């Protein structure tokens, strides 16, 4: 009898080990998409493309400093910002459409491949942004930025499928850590090339174009790993379900469906507010450092690198804290840390790089963890079978709707003439986000979405 029991138990144990091994394999592949695409964010968007594309636009400008895309007069210095805004509009239109298509067909991987290689190709094409080709630069930026946003919808939608509820915080944190690791590594290589371009026989412009193109090549090369390891799941199609509708209609349909899960919507509202603060700090910190603290460009670039490196440690450390204290409490702690960091930033003395590096260190330590745990917590609140559709709304909160913070920052500066007042105005986003998140009963929210509740959340 005992021998029979042993024989019956062994196949089950083997099946469990095989399932766990297959899940780990997918998780390792999933990490590598962050490793692939984060180089675009760190090297292209944060460091090199803005100043270079602005210089190209100024070279193409008229005597008054205007360029005329589609016959519209635009200040050359504003062209990069307008191109980024256009990419957000394109992404908002496309993300819900792709998310719904992925959920209804179950074919996330081909869509992820299309978005990844469209973005990687556009980024690699930035090598040709010489002379006065500002229109080409704007087009490539729009395509690359929108492709990244679309690919992240699909990438994030895999998280509930490749991890158990108790694994999710750790898996999400490791993905962010992989991304920040690659961003820091490639940024170091790019900075070596940029700073020593003369010794390599290159002009400064040629060095920048190589840095831009290298991010696209890196993105495309390492995207192969997740595309080989991730797998699609079969879906149960509802009778008469439409394949997909236009982006805005699909977004409206998704938000209407979310009304059935008000606690999920409550979390998304809290995330939208505090993440708006996060994104504004990321985009405006360099302006604060340059204009208010009077720091050199080289100092700002080193600070960006410092953020990348410490965000790895921060993401992993906060992932461990979430195992002990739960994701919600850990995120709340990070929001308090964000507020304290901005408060410290308000008092930074000018022309003191070491204090700015200290501020960058504080940002890096809370940046990766707050983003990673927000993603994993939201994944618990998504009804099964609607991962990509719901993550399209989440991604728009992350990328497409983060405009209020920059507006508040800009208006505060316009009224007061002080970047210190502008930076401290962002504390309100973290304070309000903290209050709204604290009011979300996450265990009930997970149960309402029909998902198993992890031991710690």
Helix (H) or strand (E) holding 369: helix 353-380
Between 201 and 19, whose confidence is greater? 201
> Does residue 316 have a pLDDT over 80?
yes
Whether residue 36 contacts residue 112, with contact meaning beta carbons closer than 8 Å, is answered with no
The token pair at 126 is 């930035």
Mean pLDDT over the full length of the chain: 84
| Number of residues in the chain | 457
Measured CA to CA in angstroms, residue 143 lies from 73, 122, 134, 191, 368 at distances of 22, 6, 14, 25, 26
Region 219-226: mean pLDDT is: 97
Position 457 scores a pLDDT of: 85
> Does residue 400 have a pLDDT over 70?
no
**Backbone region of residue 351 per phi and psi (left: phi > 0; alpha: psi in -120 to 50; beta: other values):** left
For 165-183, the pLDDT digits (tens) are 888 888 888 888 898 889 8
Whether residue 111 contacts residue 102, with contact meaning beta carbons closer than 8 Å, is answered with yes
For 340-360, the pLDDT digits (tens) are 999 999 999 999 999 999 999
Phi, psi (deg, nearest 5) at residue 320: -70, -40
Q: What percent of the chain has pLDDT over 70?
A: 89
Residue 11 pLDDT grade (very low, low, confident, very high; cuts 50, 70, 90): very low
Between 43 and 301, whose confidence is greater? 43
For 109-136, the pLDDT digits (tens) are 999 999 999 999 999 999 999 888 999 9
> How far out from the chain centre does Cα 218 lie?
17
């Amino acid at each position: 009898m005992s021998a029979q029991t042993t024989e019956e138990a062994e196949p089950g144990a083997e099946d469990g080990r095989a399932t766990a091994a297959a899940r780990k394999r997918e998780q390792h592949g999933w990490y590598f998409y962050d490793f692939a695409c984060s180089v675009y964010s760190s090297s292209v968007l944060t460091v090199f493309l803005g100043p270079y594309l602005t210089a190209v636009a100024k070279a193409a400008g008229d005597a008054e400093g205007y360029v005329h895309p589609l016959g519209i007069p635009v200040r050359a210095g504003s062209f990069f910002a307008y191109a980024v805004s256009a990419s957000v509009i394109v992404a908002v239109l496309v993300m819900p459409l792709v998310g719904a298509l992925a959920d209804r067909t179950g074919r996330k991987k081909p869509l992820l491949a299309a978005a990844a290689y469209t973005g990687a190709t556009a980024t690699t094409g930035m090598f040709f942004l010489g002379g006065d080709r500002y229109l080409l630069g704007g087009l490539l930026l729009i395509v690359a930025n929108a492709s990244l946003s679309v690919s992240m919808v699909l990438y994030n939608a895999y998280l509930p499928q490749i991890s158990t509820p108790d694994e999710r915080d750790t898996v999400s944190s490791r993905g962010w850590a992989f991304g920040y690791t690659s961003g820091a590594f490639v940024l170091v290589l790019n900075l070596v090339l940029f700073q020593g371009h003369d010794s390599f026989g290159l002009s400064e412009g040629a060095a920048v174009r190589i840095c831009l193109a290298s991010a696209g090549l890196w993105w495309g090369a390492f995207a192969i790993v997740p595309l080989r390891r991730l797998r699609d799941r079969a879906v149960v199609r509802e009778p008469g379900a439409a394949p997909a509708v236009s982006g805005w209609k699909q977004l409206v349909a998704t938000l209407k469906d979310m009304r059935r899960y008000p606690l999920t919507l409550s979390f998304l509202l809290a995330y939208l507010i505090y993440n708006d603060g996060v994104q504004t700090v990321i985009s405006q910190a360099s302006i604060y450092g340059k204009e208010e603290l009077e720091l050199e460009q080289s100092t700002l670039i080193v600070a960006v690198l410092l953020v990348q490196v410490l965000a790895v440690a921060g993401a992993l450390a906060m992932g461990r804290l979430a195992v002990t204290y739960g994701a919600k409490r850990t995120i709340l702690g990070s929001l308090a840390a964000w507020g304290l960091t901005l408060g410290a930033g308000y008092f930074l003395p000018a022309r003191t790089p070491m204090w700015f590096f200290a501020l960058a260190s504080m940002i890096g330590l809370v940046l990766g963890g707050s983003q990673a745990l927000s993603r994993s917590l939201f994944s618990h609140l998504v009804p099964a079978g609607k991962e990509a559709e719901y993550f399209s709304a989440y991604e728009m909160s992350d990328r497409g709707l983060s405009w209020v913070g920059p507006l508040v920052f800009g208006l505060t500066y316009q009224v007061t003439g002080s970047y210190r007042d502008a930076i401290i105005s962002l504390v309100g986003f973290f304070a309000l986000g903290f209050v709204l998140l604290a009011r979300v009963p996450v265990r009930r929210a997970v149960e309402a979405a029909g998902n198993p509740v992890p031991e710690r959340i």
